[in-house]
Structure 1
Amino acid sequence: MEFQKFADTYVVRLDKGEEIIASLQALCEKEKIALGSVEGIGAADHAVIGLYDVGQREYHKTELNGPMEITSLLGNITQKDGAVYLHLHINLCNKEMQIVGGHLNECRIGATGEIVVRTLPGKVERLLDEKVTGLNLFKFV
């Protein structure tokens, strides 16, 4: 991973074999990014995406392998229990030009990843909503 900071924005390049979530986690920890947004594009060769079923309160995961274009990577950076919390979604295009997408659990770069991280001043926490959704929701402090 290489990156450069411009004012409140980081421009990040991930190389073949690097994993998106682990790389962004490392960036946030190193640069002390507590709140921000993420957007990106690139190419992948392995991904695990999910769909959360609120009624069952569980993620249904799908593993994808082979050459894929990352047509959209979006998400946010917050904090949970004092640690970086990444919430990312991704759309991936396969060789048949079919798009699949969902909650990002893992994604390995197949060629390159071009990601922009915009930081915000302040802090937003996460709190588990045990009553309704079972999800870690924004908690404004």
Structure 2
Amino acid sequence: MEYRKFGDAYYVRLDRDDEIISSILEICKAEHIASATFSGIGGCKEAQIQTFVPELGAFETQVYSGMLELVSLMGNVISGDEGELISHAHASFAYKDGDEHCLAAGHVKFITVLYTAEIELRPVVGGVIRKKFDPETGTGFWEFQG
């Protein structure tokens, strides 16, 4: 992994076998970034995709592997109650299954790079976004500070 800051944004190149989500969190820790948004593209080899099923109150998980074109990655990093960094990301992957061109998309927990991934990381400037727990849904939502 290599990254540079230009203006207010960080530009990240991830290499073979790097894991994207943990790498983004690592940069945020190293650079003291409390909240940010990110986007990216790349050539990947494995991804865990989740879909929330409201009736079950749980995520359905599937792991994809092989040549996965990361056609879109969008997400954010926010601070939790104890100051821990939390990532929330969604991604779309194109891949082939025999002669068929396929697409898989959803909430992602991890993505492993095959060739490279290119990520833009944009820290929040002038404030912080934290996670506020919502007992009705059992999940957290953005809470703005600053």
Q: Same fold (TM over 0.5)?
A: yes
**Secondary structure of 2:29 counterpart:** helix
Paired position in structure 2 for 1:117: 121
- Counterpart of 1:137 in structure 2: which amino acid? F
**Secondary structure of 1:62 counterpart:** strand
* Worse-superposed segment, 92-101 or 4-13: 92-101
Q: Does the Cα contact within 8 Å between 2:46 and 2:111 map onto a contact in 1?
A: yes
Paired position in structure 1 for 2:138: 134
* Structure 2 residue ranges without an equivalent (≥5): none
Q: TM-score, normalised by structure 2?
A: 0.91
Paired with 2:8 and 2:134, the residues of 1 have a C-alpha distance of 31
- Counterpart of 2:91 in structure 1: which amino acid? I
**Secondary structure of 2:135 counterpart:** coil
Q: Does the Cα contact within 8 Å between 2:25 and 2:77 map onto a contact in 1?
A: no
User: Cα distance, 1:3 vs. partner?
Assistant: 0.3
**Secondary structure of 2:17 counterpart:** coil
Alignment pair present for 1:97 and 2:101: yes
Q: Deviations over 1:38-85 (max 9, x none)?
A: 000001111101011233221110110111100000011211121111
- Counterpart of 1:27 in structure 2: which amino acid? I
CA-based RMSD of the aligned residues comes to 1.1
Over the matched positions of the two proteins, sequence identity in percent amounts to 33
**Secondary structure of 1:61 counterpart:** strand
Q: TM-score, normalised by structure 1?
A: 0.94
**Secondary structure of 2:55 counterpart:** coil
Shift >3 Å, 4+ stretches: none
Alignment pair present for 1:30 and 2:35: no
